[in-house]
């Protein structure tokens, strides 16, 4: 259950961007903080907060999710730090599980220096090398699609490091622009760009983004459940 909830939180990392074609396209990566409702099979199970900022030459992206599943309350916060040209600096995952009077904290921190990774998990430290070029799940994809004006059919792929999938080997992730679609958000129709993120041997995430560069909705089919994030 802990690993499944951690993976859910990481998979729900959202990207801020904006469509081209009939709507304006941003010329830079969106920055700010956005709040979302979190639903499972149409039932609200919690909330999420997503932020993206740039300071001291670094991009810092964060997501915090607060979920209640039955008697279990799970709070997960992930922070990604990368350079201005999207080289990995640090990945932090803080996970707290409360079940009745029992409380458990599971923290995972990866620090990067070129190809070398120092991973701290469960109080244990390991150091290893990743030979192939890789990124974190931060702003690389968004920057690429912005430069391509979110033209329908545009695709981009990269190897992404995520210790909840593979501890010492990055996984292949692809993103594709599906085009502009009419989507109902909080009872109101919006013209949004549809982007699909495909994670190697895992899941697809559908992301719907508005003309201001803000993700309005994300959908994941996971563990026979439909998980949705909808902006407040």
pLDDT in tens, 139-148: 999 999 999 9
> Which residues contact residue 149 at a Cβ distance below 8 angstroms, ignoring those fewer than 6 apart?
20, 21, 25
What is the share, in percent, of the chain residues with pLDDT greater than 70?
88
Judged against a pLDDT cut of 70, whether residue 101 lies above it is answered with yes
The mean pLDDT value for 158-167 works out to 94
The confidence band for 16, taking pLDDT boundaries of 50, 70 and 90, is very low
**d(C-alpha 206, C-alpha 198), whole Å:** 9
Place of tokens 């190897």: 159
Query: What's residue 197's pLDDT?
Result: 94
User: Which of 40-54, 166-180, 210-224 comes out lowest in average pLDDT?
Assistant: 210-224
| CATH code for the domain of 160 | 2.50.20
Beta carbons of 114 and 159 less than 8 angstroms apart: no
Neighbours of 9 (CB within 10 A): 23
Residue 154 carries which DSSP code?
A: -
Neighbours of 75 (CB within 10 A): 18
Q: Which domain holds residue 190?
A: 2-231
Beta carbons of 110 and 118 less than 8 angstroms apart: yes
The confidence band for 224, taking pLDDT boundaries of 50, 70 and 90, is confident
Judged against a pLDDT cut of 50, whether residue 74 lies above it is answered with yes
The mean pLDDT value for 178-196 works out to 94
- Number of structural domains, the chain? 1
The rounded mean pLDDT for the chain is 89
Ramachandran category for residue 146: left, alpha or beta (phi over 0 → left; psi -120 to 50 → alpha)? alpha
Judged against a pLDDT cut of 70, whether residue 196 lies above it is answered with yes
CA–chain centroid gap for 187, Å, is 25
Nearest residue to 147 via CA among 31, 27, 47 = 27
Query: What's residue 23's pLDDT?
Result: 62
Query: What's residue 39's pLDDT?
Result: 96
**d(C-alpha 232, C-alpha 216), whole Å:** 9
Query: What's residue 28's pLDDT?
Result: 76
Nearest residue to 67 via CA among 232, 182, 227 = 227
Higher pLDDT, 122 or 58: 58
Query: What's residue 88's pLDDT?
Result: 98
């Amino acid at each position: 259950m802990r690993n499944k909830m951690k993976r859910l939180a990481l998979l729900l990392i959202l990207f801020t961007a904006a469509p081209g074609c009939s709507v304006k396209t941003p010329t830079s990566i969106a920055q700010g903080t956005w709040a979302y409702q979190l639903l499972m099979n149409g039932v609200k199970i919690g909330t999420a907060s997503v932020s993206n900022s740039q300071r001291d030459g670094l991009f810092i992206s964060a997501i915090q999710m607060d979920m209640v599943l039955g008697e279990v309350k799970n709070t997960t916060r992930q922070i990604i730090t990368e350079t201005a040209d999207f080289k990995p600096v640090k990945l932090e995952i803080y996970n707290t599980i409360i079940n009745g009077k029992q409380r458990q904290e599971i923290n995972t921190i990866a620090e990067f220096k070129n190809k070398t990774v120092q991973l701290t998990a469960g109080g244990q430290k390991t150091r290893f090398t990743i030979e192939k070029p890789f990124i974190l799940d931060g702003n690389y994809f968004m920057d690429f699609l912005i430069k391509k004006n979110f033209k329908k059919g545009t695709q981009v792929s990269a190897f992404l490091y995520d210790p909840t999938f593979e501890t010492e080997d990055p996984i292949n992730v692809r993103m594709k622009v599906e085009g502009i679609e009419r989507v109902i958000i909080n009872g109101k129709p919006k013209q949004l760009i549809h982007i699909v993120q495909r994670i190697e041997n895992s899941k697809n995430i559908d992301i719907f983004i508005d003309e201001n560069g803000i993700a309005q909705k994300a959908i994941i089919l996971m563990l026979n459940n439909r998980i949705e994030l909808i902006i407040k």
